[in-house]
A = this chain, B = another copy of it.
Amino acid sequence: MTTHVLAIAGGVGGAKLALGLTRVLAPDQLTIAVNTGDDETFHGLHVSPDLDTVMYTLAGMSNPETGWGIAGETFRALGALQRLGANTWFRLGDLDLATHIRRTQLLRDGLTLSQATRELTSALGIRHPIVPMSDDVLRTVAVTDDGELAFQEYFVHRHCEPRIAGIRFEGAATARPSPGLWAALASATAIVYCPSNPLVSIGPVLALAGVRDAIAAFAGPKIAVSPIVGGQAVKGPAAKMMAELGEEVSCVGVARRYAGVCDAIFIDTVDAANAGAIEGMGMRAYVTDTVMHTDDDKEALARQIVGIVEAWDE
């Protein structure tokens, strides 16, 4: 059976492993399904932060310092928008704006988000399929001690400062997986959870109607990469959020999050001592260097994962 990996990804960490996987697998061997729970409308434009991070990364356009945004970005339009009275706490660059303008136009023209994403990725020369998790609206809401906040409001505007009491996925009851995600759930030979935030990057995908059940029933290996290394998130607020929700901030906490929809978890060498606890939960634990600095790191981790996938036997 030809290997076909369904990689489920959020933003920066997800994009890194997704890039690695594109170096190991052919375009018809990989589907990258990306969280859209963070999508937001700014200035009337549809912004898909995680889709864009994956797209810019695979197109070789991403800002190497931040992992998101476009290298060499400028913010002239944003300055002018601010002068015109617009709220500009979400920093949209001039190059990035073009993506949102184009996507919004395509959506208004009647394309689905999947179709619009295909247009954009194809124009950027990306050969591996990137699909949104859904063409419907599912929005991640942070339930905090300062009230309910739309995810970008919490994450970007409030710098994750309010204490989290819960996470809610608005629209989850009716939002269906996109055709690309659904097809991959049916035809893939393995599922990989990229090292993205389990709560707000992978969580929304699992919350889509029918997805958790489909993954639970999935025959092939389901392998996660822990985004928590040495008790800290490699990037982003995952550790703070898990702590505020009373979860263990470790790769074991991550494994608990994935219980029932995961067979194995890649943990970092610094967390080797946790392998036993994970295996005690009925999952395999693979210990390796999981922090990806260079493109070679990304490819090396992807190659190990694909190796496990191809050697998998129940």
CB-CB under 8 A from A157, the residues of chain B are none
A102 within 8 A of B: yes
Check A77/B98 contact, CB under 8 A, given A83-B124, A84-B120. Answer: yes
A159 within 8 A of B: no
Q: How many A residues have CB within 8 A of the partner chain?
A: 28
Q: Mark A88-104, 1 if CB is under 8 A from B, else 0.
A: 00000011011101101
Q: Is the CB–CB distance between A45 and B101 below 8 Å? A: yes
Which residue on B lies nearest to A73, using beta carbons?
A: B76
A123 within 8 A of B: yes
A293 within 8 A of B: no
CB-CB under 8 A from A97, the residues of chain B are 77, 80, 97, 101
Q: Is the CB–CB distance between B80 and A94 below 8 Å? A: yes
A85 within 8 A of B: yes
Interface class of chain A by DSSP: helix
Check A123/B85 contact, CB under 8 A, given A101-B44, A101-B45. Answer: yes
> What separation, in Å, do the CA atoms of A51 and B255 have in the docked complex?
59
A173 within 8 A of B: no
CB-CB under 8 A from A105, the residues of chain B are 43-44, 86
Q: Mark A265-296, 1 if CB is under 8 A from B, else 0.
A: 00000000000000000000000000000000
Q: Is the CB–CB distance between B74 and A123 below 8 Å? A: no
> What separation, in Å, do the CA atoms of A85 and B119 have in the docked complex?
8
A41 shortest CB reach to chain B, Å: 9
A245 within 8 A of B: no
Within 8 A of B (CB), among A94-126: 94-95, 97-99, 101-102, 104-105, 108, 119-120, 123-124
Determine which residue in A94, A101, A105 has the highest number of CB atoms from chain B within 10 A of its CB, and name it.
Answer: A101
Q: Is the CB–CB distance between A94 and B123 below 8 Å? A: no
CB-CB under 8 A from A95, the residues of chain B are 76-77, 79-80
Q: List 12 A-B contacts (CB under 8 A).
A: A43-B101, A44-B104, A44-B105, A77-B77, A77-B94, A80-B97, A83-B98, A84-B119, A84-B120, A84-B123, A86-B102, A86-B105
State the A residues within 8 Å of B (CB).
43-45, 74, 76-81, 83-86, 94-95, 97-99, 101-102, 104-105, 108, 119-120, 123-124
